[in-house]
């Protein structure tokens, strides 16, 4: 069964997608890059959950670095996704 979105629902979903922050992560154990998409209002715990979903590394075992420093020295637990440092595939 096909569902048809209303015009409003479509643009709401587009807005959600275009407002997300891409966080590029290098998974050292598997030598692989992953991407996490944070909504503007999501916080650190959401990032950890999304990482766990893709890597099976639980939050307590995650060591997150950005530019050779701990991510939590750049942000705090309550920093919104829209304010996270920029990352790229080349500089996760």
Domain of 28: which CATH number? 3.10.20.90
pLDDT of residue 67: 87
23 half-sphere exposure, CB direction, 13 A CA radius: 26
Report the pLDDT averaged over residues 57-86. 94
Query: Is 63 a member of any domain?
Result: yes
20 closest CA partner among 6, 41, 4, 3: 41
pLDDT digits (tens, 9 = 90+) for 10-60: 999 899 889 999 999 999 989 999 999 999 999 999 999 999 999 999 999
51 closest CA partner among 66, 67, 30, 34: 34
Number of domains in the chain: 1
Where in the sequence is the domain holding 66, given as residue range(s)? 21-83
What DSSP element (H or E) covers 17? helix 7-18
Whether the per-residue pLDDT at 1 is higher than 80: the answer is: no
Query: Is 46 a member of any domain?
Result: yes
pLDDT of residue 17: 87
How much is the pTM? 0.83
- C-alpha 51/C-alpha 67 separation (Å) is 18
Query: Is 47 a member of any domain?
Result: yes
């Amino acid at each position: 069964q096909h569902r048809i979105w209303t015009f409003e629902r479509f643009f709401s979903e587009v807005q959600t997608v275009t407002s997300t922050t891409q966080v590029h992560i290098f998974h050292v154990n598997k030598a692989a890059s992953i991407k996490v998409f944070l909504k503007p209002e999501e916080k650190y715990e959401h990032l950890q959950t999304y990482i766990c979903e893709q890597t099976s590394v639980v939050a307590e075992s995650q060591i997150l670095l950005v530019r050779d420093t701990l991510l939590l020295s750049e942000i705090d637990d309550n920093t919104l996704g829209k304010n996270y440092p920029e990352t790229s595939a080349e500089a996760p």
